[in-house]
Structure 1
Amino acid sequence: MRKILIVGAGQSGLQLALGLQSKGYEVTLMSNRTADEIRSGRVMSTQCMFDTALGHERDLGLNFWESQAPRTEGLGVSVAGPAGERVIDWVGRLDGYAQSVDQRVKMAGWLETFAQRGGQLVIHGAAVGDLDYFARGYDLVLVAAGKGELVSMFGRDAERSPYAEPQRALAVAYVHGLGPRPEHPDFDAVRCNLVPGVGELFVMPTFTTSGRADILFWEGVPGGPVDAFRGIKDPADHLALTLELMEKFTPWEYARATKVELTDAGGTLAGRYAPTVRNPIGHLPGGGLVLGVADVVVANDPITGQGSNSAAKCAATYLDAIVEHGDRPFDEAWMRATFDRYWETAQHVTKWTNAMLGVPPEHVLNLIGAAGQLQPVADRFANGFDNPADFENFFFEPEKTAAYLESVAGAAGA
């Protein structure tokens, strides 16, 4: 039986550990926190997962909360005008519903499941020296802990990482009491509110430790008016500032948020990081090799909501590659080929996300505007969040955008 060590108990690490466990591998999982510590801790992300990523969980029988989590059936975009009005507003329908499960709920539950199924669980924060010692007893070591010292083993890929600094300041609040969307109250949707020059406000339904809730998520341009959460420690102050900024920049969202309250004392999060692609293979001091997983090697800004989706897709790709490899050694060539297989998907996410962080060119503004008049455009844009590769066909190049809009308008007029 092949022995595999996975360091990190997030979406990718746990999904991969449980998947390998189900295939008969002897898996050791290192987590720096227990399930109870995760469950009672601070929120970690916003994690709206779309149909393909949810399918990977279903394939492994890990969709424990699917019947409880809200079904998000649409994705809408609003653009704020100079006077605080909405100059663009539309909702696209998703072909398959999305769902968000608070990672405190999911990771704690998955961690307990891994242990209950006989997995070797080590509660310990791992440094490079620890890994150098442990690695000798395993056929393969995977690093899925996206923060901390271990990431330093994976050098930045400058060619694939255009930004050296964070492009947004992030601030998240989980709340109860958000009112319905008056424009489409009959189904749940993620709302993407674009405020040019200021940042973005995302509003999405979720399932948390106390049941149904909503996430208010600001992405502020560094140095701008929404980049104001640094140093705020009190969760109540964090929520108050979130609402103050909503009232000023997205009054249509603030109108349904006047009665919200935090889900719990751990329901806020703030921070920033530079989107970075790293070299996938880490070299240990003793000469061993480790393979980076998910956001260890491809970390995108959450502006396109791809983090947990990419993590699920990476875990699924690595699982297939490990099983297919059989008893052969997990050498450097295999590690490189396995990452390249994941990059076939991840490259589209990175390209699209980095484009959304910049000032949108005229043809993209035309595309977003046209989606308000042509429902097929809104629907296709929304479903691009599930399959970002499709943006290659109509988003990046002005000629392709124009041809696509012309074809849709022609079909609508026929």
Structure 2
Amino acid sequence: MTGIGIVGTGISGLTLALRLQQLGVATTLYSEGDAAGLGRGRLPNTVGRMARAQAHERELGSLHFLDPGCLLTSGRLSVKGDPPLEFTARVAEPFHAVDFRLLLPALMDDYTARGGRLVVDPVPPDAERVERWSRGHELMVVATGRRSVSELFPRDPAWSPYEAPQRILAAGLFHGFDPGPAFGFNISPGCGEILSMSMMTRAGLVPGILVEAIPGGPLEAMARVPAAGFCQALLALLPEHAPRLAELIDPAAFELLGPDDLLQGAITPVVREAVAELPGGGVALAIGDAWIANDPITGQGANLGSACAWIAADAIAAGGPYDAAFARATVRRMWAMAEPVTSWTNAFLRPPAEHVTALLVAASTRPDVAELVLSLFGDPVRAWELLSSAEEVARVVDGVG
């Protein structure tokens, strides 16, 4: 057996493959498609990658699409009310927003151009296939959230408080407005959230919108509206639920880029057991969506995937044996990053605690607190340290922290 087998070519699998390649560890990357295939299809997400993920790609020599227009240097948070609670501030380090139909093929091309071994198998991987592949590798790392692979990694009820989606999602890429180098986070209490930002796409720099609808609320219908009527339906809702975003849009020009530039669905937040001992004696380690699927409300999915892939790569490069004990020790190292992200995201799906509301109120009148709050999206460990502690928030509000 030689090298490491990696299943999945999302941000986690590709970051892991590129980092291990850089560290001199032999790998084989198993994918359902080649680079051209990754670039086709429907919009997979609307992602802003924070400073840590960008730093990883820079160190790998794989930081692509650095157009200034998709580097988000500031943000506006607006909470519906009478009057609304609002503030605008710069973020400590810019977020980078690129359509994954551009980014993932570029990363895959980097991997293969540098001698990486790619195996394309169009059949969605399942437990039997992972077991078969494992016979040729010292360790299997599974980085795809396909349901057929999740049978290897059962749900961890201790860290999976939800059994159904807490938000119904609708995301799209559009013509007809320009948010500039800022992201928008609009909260309509009891109804959901509407996020916006400029992204680099196959059509150039265009704005994206993500609707996070509370089930049963007025925004949920957006997840069922067909593409032909989507823009008109969204325009009818924005003045009430995201008025600052509505002000930016030219209704006469507002339209989807194309039928493949609309994503609708839902995610049930889940944490899975991350280590599977395979029947043939090998071990599979889960990272990325195979391990943790968080709601995108805090924008941490790809960023957590990149962070954990980097941790796993460094552990693997330090040497084996790559047994179950090694895999569990690696999970503990990754969990130090994943636990605060998961806790923060799950908390964000519920109405805010009183001290969090106090922090937002302070941010609406104090630029220093506003910058801190918006920059928390780029530092999820610090975000949870602060937001989970009424005492820490009080120190910030009082001008001490």
2:269 to 275, 279, 288: 275
Residues 72 and 99, structure 1, Cα contact 8 Å, conserved in 2: yes
Asked if 1:263 is matched to 2:257, the reply is yes
* Structure 1 pair 231–287 and aligned structure 2 pair: CA distance change class (3 A): farther
Gaps of 5+ in 2: none
1:241 to 233, 239, 242: 233
Match of 1:133 in 2: 132
Residues 51 and 386, structure 1, Cα contact 8 Å, conserved in 2: yes
Residues 3 and 27, structure 2, Cα contact 8 Å, conserved in 1: yes
* 1:104 Cα offset (Å): 0.4
Match of 2:108 in 1: 111
* 1:329 Cα offset (Å): 1.3
2:197 to 201, 204, 218: 204
* 1:21 Cα offset (Å): 1.8
Residues 42 and 269, structure 1, Cα contact 8 Å, conserved in 2: yes
Aligned length: 397
Residues 13 and 315, structure 1, Cα contact 8 Å, conserved in 2: yes
Residues 264-303 of structure 1: pairs in structure 2 closer than 5 A: 264-303=258-297
Paired AA for residue 99 in structure 1: H
1:344 to 321, 336, 344: 336
1:402 to 390, 394, 400: 394
Match of 1:331 in 2: 323
Cα distance in 1, alignment partners of residues 312 and 245 from structure 2: 40
Q: 3-state SS of the aligned residue for 2:365?
A: coil
List per-residue Cα deviations over 1:288-347 (Å, max 9, x = no partner). Answer: 32000122112111110001111111111111111122xx31111111111111110111
Residues 219 and 303, structure 1, Cα contact 8 Å, conserved in 2: yes
Q: 3-state SS of the aligned residue for 2:151?
A: helix
Match of 2:183 in 1: 190
Cα distance in 2, alignment partners of residues 278 and 70 from structure 1: 33
Paired AA for residue 17 in structure 1: A
List per-residue Cα deviations over 1:197-232 (Å, max 9, x = no partner). Answer: 000000111101111011110000011111114444
* 1:396 Cα offset (Å): 2.0
1:315 to 309, 314, 339: 309
Match of 1:79 in 2: 79
Residues 5 and 138, structure 1, Cα contact 8 Å, conserved in 2: yes
1:216 to 209, 213, 216: 209
RMSD over aligned CA atoms reads 1.9
Asked if 1:24 is matched to 2:24, the reply is yes
Q: 3-state SS of the aligned residue for 1:407?
A: coil
* 1:86 Cα offset (Å): 5.6
Match of 2:360 in 1: 368
Asked if 1:385 is matched to 2:377, the reply is yes
Asked if 1:147 is matched to 2:146, the reply is yes
Cα distance in 2, alignment partners of residues 308 and 163 from structure 1: 21
Residues 173 and 239, structure 1, Cα contact 8 Å, conserved in 2: no
Which stretch shifts more, 391-400 or 46-55? 391-400
* 1:285 Cα offset (Å): 3.6
Greater than 3 Å deviation, 4+ residue runs = 229-232
Match of 1:41 in 2: 41
* Structure 1 pair 106–380 and aligned structure 2 pair: CA distance change class (3 A): same
TM-score between both structures, scaled by the size of structure 1? 0.91
List per-residue Cα deviations over 1:70-99 (Å, max 9, x = no partner). Answer: 211112210012xxx661111232121111
Paired AA for residue 137 in structure 1: G
Cα distance in 2, alignment partners of residues 168 and 32 from structure 1: 28
Residues 341 and 384, structure 2, Cα contact 8 Å, conserved in 1: no
Asked if 1:305 is matched to 2:299, the reply is yes
Paired AA for residue 97 in structure 2: S
Using the aligned pairs only, state the percent identity: 35
